[in-house]
Amino acid sequence: MINKDAKTILEVRDLTATVAGVEILKGINLTVRAGEVHAIMGPNGSGKSTFAKVLAGHPAYTVKGGDVLFEGKDLFALESDERARAGIFLGFQYPVEIPGVTNSAFLRLAYNTVQGGRGKDELDPLEFDDLVREKMKLLEMNPEFLGRSVNDGFSGGEKKRNEILQMALLEPKLALLDETDSGLDIDALRVVAGGVNKLLNADNACVLVTHYQRLLNYITPDYVHVMSAGRIIRSGDRTLALELEERGYDWLLDGKKAAA
């Protein structure tokens, strides 16, 4: 939902970043306003996932240049846990397994930490149990998930639902969803996308990183950006995604080469 008067949630200017000394992001510019859904597409290795991880503060990546403002404040002044408490959420492409830590304990600690950071009351285990069961219905999740270790032995689809469950609990201002559609069958995709849709509103925003247009049939983007070799090389509306589906990325990359 585009509203040019809505307040800016994320402002990225000339962002460059490296991993192990190799430059992956080579000058990204992006503005995300409240209420907007942005899709970032592009071939493998173009830097899409890196972009999401850099915004969330993954320690393996080093920011070399540029600025990122989150709600007008310098994002890089915050540690990654502070960013999460400020309202940034990263939905992982490959959620890690944490054997021995139950999902319910983990979710409650995350919820209470983020609530605490916003000056809100924490919930005791019983209150939290009511809340989390309510949210799980949204994603058609079986309550027995709560007693299992975090992501341990979960199928790909179960892990992704668990990610969106966390998004539902933490109510972020900006959700960065990294290939949330990968590993999902059609039914699971519909449920997960439906869950995301219910969470989006005029006050928050979402950046979807995806390979395929398929996800965008369920979550309608306001903007589609194509990344290649660490830069956004083309931006458009959702019809760009449909065009990519039909023609692949090559015509854009070729065009870029020709332009260069």
CB of 65 vs another protein, minimal distance in Å: 21
CA dihedral of 179, 253, 225, 69, whole degrees rounded to 10: 90
* Amino acid symbol at 55: L
Let me know: does 165 contact 197? Beta carbons within 8 Å: no
Pick 94 or 251: Cβ nearer another protein: 94
CB of 217 vs another protein, minimal distance in Å: 28
CB of 11 vs another protein, minimal distance in Å: 21
Pick 170 or 252: Cβ nearer another protein: 170
| DSSP code at position 144 | G
Calpha distance 256→212 (Å, rounded): 21
Pick 84 or 196: Cβ nearer another protein: 84
Pick 70 or 249: Cβ nearer another protein: 70
Let me know: does 166 contact 135? Beta carbons within 8 Å: no
Calpha distance 91→163 (Å, rounded): 6
Max CA distance (Å), the chain: 62
Alpha helices in the chain (DSSP H): 48-56, 80-86, 103-117, 125-138, 156-170, 186-199, 238-247, 250-259
CB of 169 vs another protein, minimal distance in Å: 9
Q: Give the bridge partners for 232, in sequence order.
A: 227
Q: Which positions lie near another protein, rule CB under 8 A?
A: 56-60, 79-81, 83-85, 89-90, 92, 95-96, 98-102, 105-106, 109-110, 113-114, 117, 149, 166, 170
CB of 85 vs another protein, minimal distance in Å: 4
Pick 166 or 228: Cβ nearer another protein: 166
CB of 31 vs another protein, minimal distance in Å: 23
| Tokens (6 digits) for 121 | 């009351």
Pick 96 or 260: Cβ nearer another protein: 96
Pick 180 or 213: Cβ nearer another protein: 180
* Amino acid symbol at 29: N
CB of 28 vs another protein, minimal distance in Å: 20
Q: Which residue has the tokens 């219905």?
A: 137
